[in-house]
Amino acid sequence: MEKKKSLRIILVDDESIIRLDLREMLEDLGHQVVGEASDGQAAIAIAKQFNPNLIIMDIKMPNLDGLEALRQINAGRRIPTIMLTAYSQPELVERAVELGVFAYLVKPIKEADLLPTLEVALARFEELETLEKEVGNLKEALETRKLVERAKGILMDQSGLTEAIAFRKIQKLSMDRRKPIKEIAEAIILAADMNLSR
């Protein structure tokens, strides 16, 4: 069976006894608690300082609530977060979902609930990262396709080439110059724009 990697976790709760219990449970599971905070402002600071793999944070805290702290943390770098709550107010849950909370733990926390909650939160985070990467790749492919279509059109107009021959010419330039096809298409478009502006 594959050994789970040890996570670097920060704990944020205004009740020190809850942080202590959680720290013990997490350390028993082989994880490292790298920072603790008792309010939202401190959570933002330690998230920057310790660069954790996971945050476990209470919703209701003094100075700045957990949801606002999470919003500010996620503005810099999204970190998978499990929210702690003793409350089941629908508006809090709704806000948490909008902010990308990956799981919930209801107080009092039972050790039996902690491990599956950690696994669910991390799995959901990995799924989201994979989806975002795929979307980025699709956007890049679409952008490249648009540029190649424009470049083909320019070659067809300028040299009277067929679409297939214009495309092969772009491919050959890409291979000969060892440059991505997108860069070749951009160069053809730029050259045509410069000729037009003369």
**Does domain 8-109 match CATH 3.10.180.10?**
no
pLDDT mean across residues, the chain: 88
Dist CA 181 CA 164 (whole Å):
15
What pLDDT digit, counting tens, does each position of 45-56 carry?
999 999 899 999
Q: At the top level of CATH, which class does the domain 135-197 belong to?
A: mainly alpha
| Residue 118 structure tokens | 């950690």
What pLDDT digit, counting tens, does each position of 12-69 carry?
999 999 999 999 999 999 999 999 999 999 999 999 999 899 999 998 888 888 989 9
Domain boundaries, the chain: 8-109, 135-197
Do 8-109 and 135-197 share a fold?
no
CB-based burial label for 103 (10 Å; 0-12, 13-18, 19+):
buried
Q: What global pTM score does this model have?
A: 0.67
Q: Give the range among 94-98, 147-151, 167-171 with minimum mean pLDDT.
A: 94-98
2 pLDDT more than 60: no
Taking residue 116's Cβ as centre, other Cβ atoms within 10 Å add up to: 10
Burial readout 133-154 (b: 16 or more C-beta within 10 A, e: otherwise):
eeeeeeeeeeebeebbeebbeb
Q: Check if the beta carbon of residue 31 is closer than 8 Å to that of residue 6.
A: yes
